Chains A and B, each alone.
Chain A
Amino acid sequence: MREVKLRLDTVSWEGLQFDYGAVANIYDVTADEKGKRRRTPDGQRLRNLAIPMGPWSAEDPAFLSVQLEPGRYMVEATPPNGEVISEEIVVDESSEPLLVRLSGEESPHEWLSWQYYTGNVESAASYYSHAVSRDLLSSRVDLVSVWSQPAVGQDADELTAPDALVSRGFFFDLPAAKGFDLSKSADDLFPFDQIDRQVQTAAPEAAFSDAASQVYALESDLVLSLHGQSSAATSWRWGSGPGRHYLLVRGENIPPQYSVLPLPWMQVDGSGEAEVEALVQAGPADPVASGSMDQGHRISITVRDRLVGSVLGYLGAGQLSAAATILGQAEEAIERQAQRLLFSKGVNQPAAAAGAYALLAAQGSGKQESWHRWVANLKQWFPWLPDGAIQYAWVLLRQDRSEEGLKQARASLLEGYRRGLPYFSKGVNLLLDGLILFANDAREAGMPDVEVEAARKVVWRLALRTNPRQLFTSVLLH
């Protein structure tokens, strides 16, 4: 046996490395003298490995180690963008480890590296092959930060009355937004007119840009600078406040739109805050020639979380099984942090919600009891997080067919609806699907469910405007 150490090299301007970066498989392709592959001995085919991904220039480039018998192997990795990256290796009897550094197609720029690997931009070869419009010259990008001050004596997490929750965002304002006035300031565009709500806006500077792309690197400092170093702001930073933040983009030929910003995003490995990266892209100069009818979506949000960044990437790309694979292998590392970081009242609830979406998809994983409890906690402990209530409704729909279970599932869906815009677009999808099922049953029974019908109507309109190709909810306002 020889130790083989695997990783996927990326080219990036920074040293960020994802310990569980890409799903990889190893196949024994040792052939006979005619070139026919030999029958594979047991254990010589390794599937669904999570290998590290990052630049070779990282401080301490990580590898995944496996033991292989001498022979010829095909090593194949598929990052979230779906590119199949393969390399043939020959393993001999040497006692030295064999380093295997896979590398895929090139990203258009080092600063677009993570956006490339998550599938938000094309490879360098395609990126420069078609012309883009001049949309970005006229674009206006605002960070909009909203939260409500908890009433005196009331913990922010205990706010349950829908009107008191700031997470609603534009959610209920979509029909009115049809007559969107571009000349309005961002403050006026958010329908928060109650005195306990604070809306602040800032125009962030792009960290990198070219004619086709602008990248914004966002962290909580920017939000804190807007709201001041109040105690509420400080507690928000550590997750106890119900603040919500959006990136609002508009411009000539850019349909007004916004995306949820999951700020602050605390690294799941406990190492501090992760950067939330917003990409704003120009539309194609000729949508027909580029193969896109261009529905107008321009925003992509990614999170540079060392431990679950790839889980988020696979989720955003719709590769739920790969997301669950990575999550499964990162589980030990995540569980080490779980109580402190994911599921306590302190830190990164959106990350927990992202994990729950992956686990909902891998429902046969045998881990039901523990993660169902996570989802129940997400719903109960964090009333500002719509996704937890939606996910809990689906756990019940799939696990509990009793009248009481259905009643609770319905209530949980409506609770998710009242909480407002889901962090994740998958939440919009599941909310709509669930409401349609309940509406169908009520109609079938000849007793239309007025509450469900009203919610279904609003969420349907939201679902039409939500970008299904983005992880975080990203909505067109027309």
Chain B
Amino acid sequence: MDPVFEAAIAGPATHAIVIGVGAYLHLPGGQAFAQRLGVPWTEYPDHEGMGQLSSPPHSARAFARWLLTEYRNPERPLASLHLLLSEPEAGQITLGTGEEKAVERASFEHVRAAIRDWKRRGDQNADHLLLFYFCGHGVNRGFITTLLLDDFGEDPGEPLEQAINLNGFHAGMDQCQARRQCYFIDACRVPSAALIERFEEYAGPAIIHGSAYLSEVPRYAPVFYSTVAGSAAYSREGEASLFTQALLRSLAGAGSKPDDEDNWLVYTGGTLHESIQFLLKRATEAVAGPSQVNSADHVEGEGFPLHYLPGRPIVPILVAVKPAEAAGSAELSYANVDGSDPVVRPPGTASEWDVEIPEGRYRFAARFAGGPYREKEEERTVFPPGRKVSLEVAE
């Protein structure tokens, strides 16, 4: 299984595998995918309402594009990217050079081959960094989580044969020489009555099996989940998921902190988890949707630097007016503290103003063309992960 991107890097490097499963061959609605593949469609009978997903290919592509175009790790540049996408139409991705590359589907066989190749690359240097990203259906009970691949349910008698036992896989990756690994799991972690019965004995293949002969060198291998065990993960139709959007905004700055040389870095053990939590909460509150609380496991110590920002971090800020009913008639703005480079939102929008601003100190203002409210101006520091700037206006 060849990666979609490969670069010759001497020394430590980053190797990534990105999987997005939107089309499920044997779940309801999988006919179009079967037609594309030229195979007869059969339905897995115990699907329990699971079906096709629109978001995972968007989410996985967005993460892959970020890796190809924005990922910055001078100590470990990107050396390879495996991308597997399952969607009704044949997938492709545009590389940084503009070249279009065809993408393989995320069947169990393809994913297993890609994971083995990814691990093989990780075995070549203990200082390599391995990144794993999955978006698709997930099933969970208690401590056990399984990720479903596009041919899940092919054999209704053994549906979990086309899935990954995440616990086993993560434990098995201790056998890889690369001591820095990072996992992003953007999937529901809901129980499935039918699968739980099978879970009594088995949760799917681990692909890489663990051994009690643990590596002598400690491994840092945090897992960032889109949701807590037992809960669903959400997305808007046809867009990257809420978690992946929060992850990418965190990597753009909300999850970063300055180091001793004043470089801005995203650490795995730093505020990445809290930043995603902050942004997810804001996203679900904005649409008054169900809450989604992310979780993390194996986040040990400070972790390691995942991403070095090229400059100042971009910080999400919510500008609000108090009382809220004054917002509609307010002209909102922010500018540097000397008044330069103003950005203005004209009156007429009653909602809070969601902006992304480089870290620094700014002057925020609410102005009114007529009564009854009086102008308000405040200086505030914009700093990751972000904040709400409330301008209290008086009549």
Contact = CB atoms under 8 A, between A and B. Distances in A.
5 contacts: A84-B275, A291-B232, A362-B300, A440-B212, A469-B230
B55 interface: no
A401 B200 contact: no
A350 interface: no
A74 B360 contact: no
A72 B381 contact: yes
The 3 tightest CB contacts between A and B, nearest first, are: A291-B290, A35-B361, A31-B361
A297 B214 CA distance: 33
A464 B142 contact: yes
A131 B111 CA distance: 42
Contact of B230 (A84, A293, A437): A293
Interface in B83-115: none
B36 interface: no
Given A321-B269, A463-B144, A84 B338 contact: no
B212 A27 contact: no
Given A29-B383, A441-B211, A469-B229, A78 B274 contact: yes
B383 A319 contact: no
Chain A interface, DSSP helix/strand/loop, else mixed: mixed
A20 B253 CA distance: 29
Contacts of A464: 141-144, 196, 199-200
A289 B360 contact: no
Given A35-B362, A398-B214, A86 B383 contact: yes
Interface in A438-469: 438, 440-441, 444, 457, 460-461, 463-469
A31 B231 contact: no
Interface string A26-42: 01010101111101101
Contact of A82 (B167, B260, B262, B273): B273
Interface of A: 25, 27, 29, 31, 33-37, 39-40, 42, 45, 72, 74, 78, 82, 84, 86, 88, 122, 126, 288-295, 297, 318-321, 324, 361-365, 397-398, 401, 406, 409-410, 428-429, 432-434, 436-438, 440-441, 444, 457, 460-461, 463-469
B77 interface: no
Given A39-B262, A88-B380, A361 B212 contact: no
Interface in B245-280: 257-258, 260, 262, 269, 271, 273-275, 277-278
Contacts of B214: 397-398, 401, 437
B122 interface: no
Given A290-B290, A292-B290, A364-B218, 17 more contacts: A34-B338, A34-B360, A35-B361, A37-B361, A40-B262, A45-B260, A72-B361, A86-B387, A288-B290, A292-B230, A293-B231, A319-B299, A321-B269, A437-B212, A440-B209, A440-B210, A464-B200
A297 B230 contact: yes
Contacts of B212: 397, 406, 409-410, 434, 437-438, 440-441
Query: How many residues of B sit at the interface, in one of the four size bands?
Result: 35 or more
Given A29-B383, A74-B383, A464-B199, A291 B277 contact: no
Contacts of A467: 142
B218 A398 contact: yes
Contact of B143 (A74, A320, A321, A463): A463
B32 interface: no
A294 B274 CA distance: 24
A251 to B, nearest CB: 19
Given A319-B299, A401-B216, A433-B167, A461 B258 contact: no
A43 B143 CA distance: 42
Given A318-B296, A364-B301, A292 B231 contact: yes
Nearest to A438: B212
Given A364-B301, A444-B209, A291 B292 contact: yes
Contacts of A466: 142-143
Contact of B385 (A33, A40, A84): A84
Contacts of A465: 141-142
A475 to B, nearest CB: 9
A84 B361 contact: no
A434 B260 CA distance: 39
B274 A321 contact: no
A436 B209 CA distance: 9
A288 B302 CA distance: 36
B337 interface: yes
A120 B360 CA distance: 35
Contacts of A297: 230
A299 to B, nearest CB: 14
Given A86-B383, A466-B143, A45 B258 contact: yes
Contacts of B380: 88
Contacts of A461: 200
Contacts of B275: 84
Contacts of B383: 27, 29, 74, 86
B143 A88 contact: no
A288 B290 CA distance: 8
B194 to A, nearest CB: 14
Contacts of B360: 31, 34-37
A328 B303 CA distance: 17
Contacts of B211: 437, 440-441, 444
Nearest to A48: B302
A433 B174 CA distance: 12
B161 interface: no
A424 B130 CA distance: 31
A434 B167 CA distance: 12
Contact of A84 (B231, B278, B303): B278
Contact of B277 (A82, A429, A434): A82
Contact of A35 (B141, B289, B336): B336
Contacts of B278: 84
